[in-house]
């Protein structure tokens, strides 16, 4: 039991071969140090941070929905990596064309089917945030009908109360403070849907930033 071992090893001498460091309750015998680098710097240095980008080919914007979605994901980010989990730091939507109305939210739902294969949606790609040659196995698709689970649960991951604006591009809903609290496991997809009032010929594109790390998920 990690907790009992933590108390015991705090006061009892260690047997030969064990780490001389005081154990922590993470059960990893790691040493706590003061952080002097900026948040995310080490992940970027290690080439583990990625972002959704636009590759110069005109992507197709998607009109928002005014009714809560059931199984229709306007975009899907699929984790095709066999061992790494994607921890999202930013999720959002921006106005690609037209004029947005007042406010809007980005909804997200986890799914396992259908499995996403092949190339990314036209105009969308994934790039390394530090210019590293390390790549990502993420697959970005659009217009995905979720079949597993049959009734996905949708939650709000970004929202805003900004007034209507005709400037393009304009982010209508973005959350840059997720801090890894949305985690996409191997063999899972994250469905996204723009939930906003109808504007004038309004079309959105997704925003996403994440880091990838091997971890034991519970």
pTM of the model: 0.81
Determine the pLDDT at residue 49.
Answer: 97
Lowest mean pLDDT: which of 12-21, 67-76, 124-133?
12-21
Tens of pLDDT, residues 177-206: 999 999 999 999 999 999 988 878 888 999
- With 90 as the cut, is the pLDDT of residue 76 above it? yes
pLDDT at position 31, please?
A: 56
Mean pLDDT for all residues in the chain:
85
pLDDT at 103 over 90: no
Q: Rg of the Cα trace of the chain?
A: 21
Q: State both tokens at 15.
A: 């047997």
Q: What is the pLDDT of residues 147-183, one digit of tens each?
A: 999 999 999 999 885 555 544 555 678 999 999 999 9
Query: Please, which pLDDT band fits residue 30 given cuts at 50, 70 and 90?
Result: low
| Tens-place pLDDT, residues 108-122 | 999 999 999 999 999
48 close to 212: Cβ distance less than 8 angstroms: yes
């Amino acid at each position: 039991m990690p907790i009992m071992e933590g108390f015991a090893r705090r006061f009892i001498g260690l047997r030969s071969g064990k780490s001389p460091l005081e154990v922590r309750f993470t059960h990893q015998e790691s040493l706590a140090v003061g952080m002097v680098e900026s948040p995310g710097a080490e992940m970027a240095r290690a080439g583990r941070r990625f972002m959704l980008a636009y590759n110069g080919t005109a992507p197709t914007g998607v009109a928002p929905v005014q009714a809560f979605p059931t199984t229709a994901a306007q975009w899907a980010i699929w984790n095709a990596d066999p061992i790494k989990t994607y921890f999202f730091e930013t999720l959002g939507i921006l106005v690609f064309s037209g004029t947005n109305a007042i406010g809007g939210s980005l909804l997200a739902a986890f799914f396992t089917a259908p499995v996403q294969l092949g190339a990314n949606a036209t105009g969308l790609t994934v790039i390394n945030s530090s210019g590293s040659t390390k790549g990502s196995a993420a697959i970005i698709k659009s217009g995905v009908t979720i079949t597993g689970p049959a009734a996905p649960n949708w939650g709000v991951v970004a929202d805003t109360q900004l007034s209507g604006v005709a400037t393009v591009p304009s982010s209508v809903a973005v959350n840059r403070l997720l801090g890894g609290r949305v985690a996409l496991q191997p063999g899972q997809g994250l469905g996204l849907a723009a939930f906003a009032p109808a504007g004038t010929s309004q079309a959105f594109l997704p925003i996403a930033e994440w880091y990838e790390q091997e971890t034991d998920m519970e």
